[in-house]
Amino acid sequence: MNVQVVYFARYRERLGLDGEALTGEFACVDDVRQALLARGEPYAVLAEQNLMCARNQDLCRLAEPLEEGDEVAFFPPVTGG
């Protein structure tokens, strides 16, 4: 399965990239996160307790199921307004 992962704000800066394409067996958003965490630093930032995530530009839980071609986003708590 192919997914496009995107990062924002502090995570984007920490990882030094806006996003990347990932291929693997991902049943849910957390499977993508675990695959990234397994790479070690600087991906450890994705272990933060208050991490937020989105699937196809809708907020979701880590248990959200995935389909081929989905866009998955990881970001710190939002601070607009």
Partner 1 sequence: MAVRVQEGAFDPGQAVNAMQAANVGVGAVVSFVGYVRDFNDGREVAGMFLEHYPGMTEKALAKIVAEAEQRWPLLKVEVLHRIGTLAPGEPIVFVGVASAHRQAAFAACDFIMDYLKTRAPFWKKETTGEGPRWVEGRQSDQDAAQRW
Buried b (16+ CB within 10 A) or exposed e, 51-66: ebbbbeeeebeeebeb
Q: How far is the CB of 1 from partner 1 (least distance, A)?
A: 21
Q: In this complex, which beta carbon is closest to partner 1, that of residue 25 or of residue 79?
A: 79
What CA–CA distance (Å, rounded) separates 14 from 26?
24
Q: In this complex, which beta carbon is closest to partner 1, that of residue 24 or of residue 42?
A: 42
Q: How far is the CB of 38 from partner 1 (least distance, A)?
A: 25
What stretch of H or E contains 80? none
Binding region for partner 1 (CB under 8 A): 6, 8-10, 50, 54, 57-59, 73, 75-81
DSSP string of 12-44, one letter each residue: HHHHT-SEEEEES--SBHHHHHHHHHTT-TTGG
Q: In this complex, which beta carbon is closest to partner 1, that of residue 59 or of residue 63?
A: 59
Q: How far is the CB of 59 from partner 1 (least distance, A)?
A: 6
